[in-house]
Chain A
Amino acid sequence: MALKRKIAYINLTTGEITKEAIPVKMRELYLGGRGIDAYLAYNYINPRGDPLGPGNVALISAGLLGGTLASASARTHVGGKSPLTGFFGSCNMGGFFAPEMRFAGFDHLVIKGRAKKPVYLWIHNGEIEIRDAKNVWGKTIPEAQQAIRDELGDREIKVLTIGPAGEKLVRFANVMTSLKNAGGRTGMGAVLGSKNLKAVAARGTMDIGIAHPQEALDYDKAVITQITSSKVGKVMQTLGTLFIWGATNSTGLVRVRNFQLNQLTDCEDIEAESLEKEMIGTAGCFGCQVHCRGRYFIKDGPYAGTYAEGPEYTSQGAFGGEVDCRDKQTVLLGNHLCNSYGIDILEQGSMVAWAMELYEAGILTNKDTDGLELRFGNTEAVIEMIHRVGRREGLGDILAEGPLRAAAKIGKDSIKYLLHVKGMSPLQSDERTTPALALGLATASRGADHLRSRPAIDLYHLPEPVLRKIYSNPIIYDGPMSSDYRDYVGKPWEVTWQEFCYAVVDSLGICKYHTLFLSPNFPNFDEWSRLIYYNTGLQLSPLDLWRIGERISNMERLFNVREGLTRNHDWLPDQFFDQPAPIGLAHIRGLCLDREKFNKMIDEYYQHHGWDENGVPTPETLKRLGIDKEPSHML
C-alpha cells in the first residue's frame, strides 16, 4: 500500500538508522514529498544553524502518489536549510529515483550529522546501509551512478547523487539522477556534500498496493488523454520547455544581459525549431506520456560524441539569452557540462551574466578573471566559467558562493547589479512588466523562484469569467480580476491559489507539466482528489487538498520566519522598479513595476494568507490549520 511506506532516520555521525511507519494522520495533513518535508524541516532543524554544518538535516522524499497511476508522479523532493539563502531549501526532480525508493519500502529519509569520510546510502527492500563512497567520490553525475551500479552489481539501481560541484560545496550545487533530472534550486547538493554524503542508491521489488486498481487504470488513462490530446500537451511532447522560451521572447519577457534588455533578437539558432533538429528523440520520466526530455549527441569540439539529455528553457536562457549568445552548440554543451558537474544551470547563468556586467563596467578586471574576456557574447567564456565554478577556481570560487556572498567578496558597487530575492537568482525571464509573475518571485518560500507560485496561465489573456472560474475552485474568490497580465488587480489571489496548488503537486510527487501550470484545462484539485482516492483509498476532497496546500505554505513560512525572514525579504531588486522595458512588443515596452502598487499587492497577498503586515502567520491562521503547537514531533 502506498500508505505503508516508511520513514528512515539516518545519523551519519553515529551510523544509527531507525525506521518508522508514517501515520495516516500525517498524510491527511501534509500528503508526502515536499509537504511532509516542510513539517520535518521545522521539527528537526534548529534555527540559525550553519546549513553546511552537521546540524542541518537533508530530507529526501517521494510524493504520496509516487510510483502509482497518477499520470506522472515520479518526482523526488530534497529539502533542508539552504546554504544559498539561509531559508527553506527545497528542490524537485523527475526521473526514476523516487518510485524506486518507494518500491524499496521508503518514502522519506531524514539525514542528520556528518560522515567522517565520503559515504553513500544503499536502500534495498526494507534495508538501509551506509557504504564507503571511495569508488564514487570525485565522479561526475553519470559516472557516479554507474560506479555504484558496478560496485553493487545491479544495472537496475537508481541513484540520486551530487557531482563534483556538490562535493566542493558550491552553494548552488544540485542533486541529480539519470542524465539531467536535477533538483537544482537552493544548493541542496552542497548540503549533501557538507555531510560527506555522495549519493543515495535505491533498488526495490516490493509492491505498492493500489486501492482500486481498475478505476485507477481507467482514470489514469482519462487524465493522460486530457493532457496529451491538448495542443499544449502535443507541443510539450516534441519541444519540451524550449518553445516557452521562444514564445515569451517574442513578446519581450526574457532576460538579456542581466536585465539590461528584455528580448534577444536574431536568435533563431537557439530557438526550439533549431534545437529540435539536434534531437534524436525524447525520453520520459517514470510513467509519463508527455516525455518532454530531449536527447542529443554533442557533434563537435572536445566533447564530440557525448550523449546528453535536454536542453530546457533554462539552458536557452543561461547560455543564450542571458549572456547574449546565439550559438546553439553553446546551449547544448553548457547544458551537458552543468549536468556533469552537478551545478544549477539557472544560478550559473545568472551569476555569470552578473559577472559579465561587472566586467564590462570595470568592477571586475582581467586580473580577477585570470585573463578571461568575460564579456557578453563570448561563448568561450560562458563554457569556461562552468568549469571554474564546478572546480571552484579563481573567479569561479567567488561566484560559487552565490549572489550575496560573492557580492560581499567582490565589493565595490557589485551588489547594485545583483538580481536576487532572498539571496537566490531568478529564472532568465523578465518580470518587470508582469506583476503577477513578479509577485510570485518576490514571495516564493525558497527565494526568487518561478515554480512555487507562478500563475503562468496569466500570460494567456484568458477572459475574466474563465479566470474567475479557475481561481474560484475550490474556494470562491469574489474580488476583482483582470485578464491583462500587465495589471495588478486580482493577481495576489492568483499567486496565492497557485502557491497552494503547487504545494499539493510537489507533495503528491506530480510533475507540474501535468497541471494547471501549463494550461487551464489540465488537471488540478478535482483530478488529484480522484487520483488520490483510486490509488491510495484516502478520501481528500478538493477543499481538503486546498487546506493542505495552505498548511504546507504556512509551515514553510514558519520555518523562514524562524530563520529571520521579514517583509523586507519579500521584495524585488530596484531594477524591476527603475528600469522600464527597453524593447519588446508595443504593449509592454516602456513598462516596469510600480513600488506603491507592488507594495499593495504584498499587503493583499498577506491578507489572503492570513498573515500579519510583516508576513508572519497570525495565531488564528495557525490554529485554523492545526499548526499552532509546532514543533509537535508527530514524526
Chain B
Amino acid sequence: MAKVLMIDYEKCTGCRLCELVCSVKHEGVSNPARSRLKIVKWEWEGRYVPMSCQQCESAPCMAVCPVKAISQNEEMGRVEIDYDVCIGCRMCVAICPFGAMGFDTLARKVIKCDFCDGDPQCVRFCETKAIQYVDASVVSIEKQRAAAEKFSGIMRKVAAAIAAV
C-alpha cells in the first residue's frame, strides 16, 4: 500500500533541516527557496507548521493543467509532473489549496514533493519525527490513540471525583 507523509506539527522545532536536505537532494545545492516543503512559522508564538504536498486523490493541479502534464502514480501514491509536457503556465501553482506546488525561479519550473522516489530525505533527517513516511492507514490510528488517552483520562478523573463526594 502506498505511503504518505504524516506530519505532526507539534513535534516540529522549526529547524528547517528538511528544507535544506530537500534542496540538496533534488538540486545539489543548499537553498530553502528550492525546497519542496516549507516550515511555516509564527515565530513570536512558537508555532511551526510543515507544509507539503498532500498528493491529493482528486488533485486540483491535475484537473486544471491545460496540457495534462500532471498525473497520479498509484503505485508510489504521488502526483507527478511530466516535465516534457509541462508548459510552465503555473495554473497548478495558483489552484493548489495548500500552496504545495511551488515555482523554482532559478530552474524556471514548477516543483512539488515526489517523496524522493520512495526515500524521503526530510523524513530521514527529522529527529523529532515531526514528519514521517508511513502507511496511510497508520495516520488515523495514532490520532485515535492520542484522543482516546485524553478522553479516558478525563473520564477516570471525573469518576474518581464523583466517588470521593
Binding site for B on A (CB under 8 A): 67-69, 96, 103, 142, 146, 178-179, 205-210, 213, 216-217, 220-221, 224, 228, 237, 280-289, 291, 295, 307, 309
* Contact of B29 with A209 in the complex, beta carbons under 8 Å: yes
Name which of B7-15, B55-63, B78-86, B146-154 contacts chain A.
Answer: B7-15
- 4 nearest A-B residue pairs (beta carbon): A284-B15, A205-B33, A291-B13, A207-B29
* Contact of A283 with B44 in the complex, beta carbons under 8 Å: no
Contact partner of B15 among A69, A220, A288, CB < 8 A? A288
* Contact of A282 with B13 in the complex, beta carbons under 8 Å: yes
* Contact of A103 with B31 in the complex, beta carbons under 8 Å: yes
Number of inter-chain CB pairs below 8 Å? 94
When distances are taken between beta carbons in the complex, the residues of chain A under 8 Å from B128 are: 289, 291
Known A-B contacts A307-B44, A309-B46; A210 and B14 likewise in contact (beta carbons under 8 Å) = no
Known A-B contacts A142-B44, A224-B125, A280-B46; A213 and B28 likewise in contact (beta carbons under 8 Å) = yes
Contact partner of A207 among B10, B13, B106, CB < 8 A? B106
* Contact of B28 with A289 in the complex, beta carbons under 8 Å: no
Contact partner of B13 among A67, A216, A228, A284, CB < 8 A? A284
Name which of B17-25, B68-76, B88-96 contacts chain A.
Answer: B17-25
Of all chain A residues, which has the CB nearest B40? A155
Q: How many Å from the CB of A409 to the closest CB on chain B?
A: 38
Of all chain A residues, which has the CB nearest B128? A291
Known A-B contacts A69-B24, A142-B44, A309-B46; A103 and B13 likewise in contact (beta carbons under 8 Å) = no
Known A-B contacts A213-B25, A309-B46; A68 and B30 likewise in contact (beta carbons under 8 Å) = yes
Binding site for A on B (CB under 8 A): 10, 13-17, 20-21, 24-25, 27-34, 43-46, 48, 105-106, 121, 124-128
* Contact of B105 with A209 in the complex, beta carbons under 8 Å: no
Q: In whole angstroms, what is the CA distance A103 to B32 when docked?
A: 9
When distances are taken between beta carbons in the complex, the residues of chain A under 8 Å from B13 are: 281-284, 291
When distances are taken between beta carbons in the complex, the residues of chain A under 8 Å from B105 are: 205
* Contact of B29 with A210 in the complex, beta carbons under 8 Å: yes
* Contact of B10 with A217 in the complex, beta carbons under 8 Å: no
Q: How many Å from the CB of B3 to the closest CB on chain A?
A: 20
* Contact of A287 with B24 in the complex, beta carbons under 8 Å: no
Q: How many Å from the CB of B104 to the closest CB on chain A?
A: 10
Contact partner of B45 among A205, A237, A307, CB < 8 A? A307
* Contact of B31 with A208 in the complex, beta carbons under 8 Å: yes
Of all chain B residues, which has the CB nearest A146? B44
Of all chain B residues, which has the CB nearest A225? B127
Q: In whole angstroms, what is the CA distance A282 to B13 when docked?
A: 6
Of all chain B residues, which has the CB nearest A142? B44
Q: How many Å from the CB of B158 to the closest CB on chain A?
A: 24
When distances are taken between beta carbons in the complex, the residues of chain A under 8 Å from B44 are: 142, 146, 179, 307
Candidate in A178, A206, A284, A307 with the most chain B CB atoms within 10 angstroms:
A284
Q: In whole angstroms, what is the CA distance A282 to B130 when docked?
A: 12
* Contact of A289 with B15 in the complex, beta carbons under 8 Å: yes
Q: How many Å from the CB of A217 to the closest CB on chain B?
A: 6
Q: In whole angstroms, what is the CA distance A206 to B32 when docked?
A: 9
Q: In whole angstroms, what is the CA distance A286 to B125 when docked?
A: 13
Q: How many Å from the CB of B55 to the closest CB on chain A?
A: 23
Q: In whole angstroms, what is the CA distance A348 to B20 when docked?
A: 37
Of all chain A residues, which has the CB nearest B28? A213
Candidate in B25, B121, B127 with the most chain A CB atoms within 10 angstroms:
B127
* Contact of B30 with A210 in the complex, beta carbons under 8 Å: yes
* Contact of B127 with A228 in the complex, beta carbons under 8 Å: yes
Of all chain B residues, which has the CB nearest A211? B28
30 contacts between A and B (CB under 8 A): A69-B20, A69-B30, A103-B31, A103-B33, A146-B44, A206-B31, A207-B27, A207-B29, A207-B34, A209-B29, A209-B30, A210-B30, A213-B25, A217-B25, A224-B127, A237-B127, A281-B13, A281-B46, A282-B13, A283-B46, A283-B48, A284-B17, A286-B15, A286-B16, A287-B17, A289-B125, A291-B15, A291-B128, A307-B45, A307-B46
Of all chain B residues, which has the CB nearest A297? B46
Q: How many Å from the CB of A146 to the closest CB on chain B?
A: 7
Contact partner of B24 among A213, A237, A280, CB < 8 A? A213
19 additional contacts, CB 8 Å, given A96-B16, A208-B30, A281-B10? A67-B20, A103-B32, A103-B33, A179-B43, A205-B106, A207-B34, A207-B106, A210-B29, A210-B30, A213-B28, A220-B21, A228-B127, A284-B13, A289-B17, A289-B126, A291-B13, A291-B15, A291-B128, A307-B46
